Amino acid sequence: MTPVRKILIAAYIVFIIIYIIQYLFYGKSLVSFIFGFTTMILMILVMTLYKGNIK
């Protein structure tokens, strides 16, 4: 298992945790915004790593 693959798996686990927390705190707009922003940054990071891994 390559280090990049470990990072991808870790990122997906973080996604799941973020979505659970976002679901629990849904309605608190600031918390929801912060988690949404964090998720977006993580998604960009994962896509960059994934594209780099394919090449």
Sequence-separated (6 or more) residues with CB below 8 Å from residue 43: 15
pLDDT, one tens digit per residue, over 11-29 is 778 878 877 777 776 666 6
Q: What does the pLDDT look like over 33-54, one tens digit per residue? A: 777 788 788 888 877 877 776 6
pTM above 0.85, yes or no: no
Query: How high is the pLDDT of residue 54?
Result: 64
Question: What burial letters (b/e) apply to 31-54, b meaning 16+ CB within 10 Å?
Answer: eeeebeeeeeeeeeebeeeeeeee
CA 51 to chain centre: 16
